[in-house]
């Protein structure tokens, strides 16, 4: 969507990074994309792209007020979570948003509840005890798409124990791209000797799902390292590793993965 918008001619602004991957952002910037953190920085009447992480309703209202031409590149899994929060709000059901409070995806989800008090961000299972919602009433739950599936399951277990009427939908889990990678990493490490196993995760430092993959590999006992691309391989010590697995954050371009594979094969 971003490439198509740029190929149509004329300037295009993107609110926040399109995805949390430096290679993608650099490519789009070279093509002419202008990245901003506020819609105030987009000239009135121009074209703005909403990133994959979604935006709160106030951003859409501000864009309309400034007569901006909006291209919505929100990830379908994130958009589904937004719809679910709106549905809970319409029914008056309090909502627990499982995620990192400062992450742009969570900021967008929180904004859907229009500042009402009946929405809380839950960072981990320990936070469930502090929720102010009545335990005998319904409570809805949605999840940041890029969390560790193990962490999410722990929070959901705590929520179920405290709220017997917990309303769970498909939005109460990580997205397929995140979950499948995490499952594959665990299976790979457990299939051999973790002490002689390495996992190379390709992705940017600010990518939440990339960070989760590194954590999961390390928790399973493997030597886990994140690299942004081929340029980072020179400083990686692979001594003592008999099995090396590579995986990537969901926003890492396939071309970057291919380049890393080729470099490792040659090495």
- Catalytic positions: 105
**Cα–Cα dist 3/7, whole Å:** 6
Main-chain dihedrals φ then ψ at residue 13, nearest 5 degrees: -105, 150
Specify whether the CB–CB gap between 5 and 21 falls below 8 A: no
Closest listed residue to residue 61, CA positions, set 112, 101, 14: 112
Q: Where are the alpha helices (DSSP H) in 32-171?
A: 57-65, 76-91, 104-111, 149-162
DSSP-assigned states of every residue in 202-245: ES-TT-HHHHHHHHHHHHTT-EEEEESSGGGGGG---TT-SEEE
Does an H or E element contain 263, and which? Answer: helix 254-266
Beta bridge pairs of residue 197: 243
Residue 118 DSSP label: S
Cα dihedral sign for 68, 73, 76, 77?
Answer: negative
Q: With b meaning 16 or more CB within 10 Å and e meaning fewer, what string describes 240-256?
A: ebeebbebbbbbbbeeb
Specify whether the CB–CB gap between 243 and 196 falls below 8 A: yes
Alpha-carbon Rg for the chain, nearest whole angstrom, is 20
**Cα–Cα dist 41/50, whole Å:** 14
């Amino acid at each position: 969507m971003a490439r198509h918008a740029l190929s149509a001619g004329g300037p295009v602004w993107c609110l926040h990074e399109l995805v949390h991957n430096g290679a993608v952002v650099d490519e789009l910037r070279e093509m002419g994309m202008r990245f901003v953190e506020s819609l105030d920085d987009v000239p009135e009447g121009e074209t703005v792209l909403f990133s994959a992480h979604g935006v709160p309703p106030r951003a859409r209202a501000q864009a309309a007020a400034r007569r901006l031409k909006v291209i919505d590149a929100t990830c379908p899994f994130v958009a589904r979570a937004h719809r679910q929060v709106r549905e809970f709000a319409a029914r008056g059901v309090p909502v627990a948003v499982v995620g990192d409070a400062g992450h742009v995806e969570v900021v967008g989800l929180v904004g859907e509840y229009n500042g009402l008090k009946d929405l809380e961000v839950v960072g981990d299972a320990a936070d469930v005890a502090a929720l102010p919602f009545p335990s005998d009433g319904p409570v809805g739950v949605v999840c940041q798409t890029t969390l560790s599936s193990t962490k999410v399951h722990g929070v959901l277990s705590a929520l179920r124990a405290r709220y017997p009427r917990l309303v769970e939908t498909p939005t109460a889990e990580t997205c397929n791209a995140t979950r499948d990678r995490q499952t594959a990493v665990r299976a790979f490490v457990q299939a051999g000797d973790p002490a002689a196993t390495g996992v190379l995760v390709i992705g940017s430092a600010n990518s939440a799902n990339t960070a989760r993959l590194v954590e999961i590999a390390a928790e399973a006992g493997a030597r886990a390292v994140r690299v942004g691309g081929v340029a980072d391989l020179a400083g990686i010590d692979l001594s003592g590793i008999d099995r090396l697995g590579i995986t990537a954050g969901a926003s890492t371009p396939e071309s970057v993965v291919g380049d890393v594979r080729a470099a490792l094969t040659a090495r």
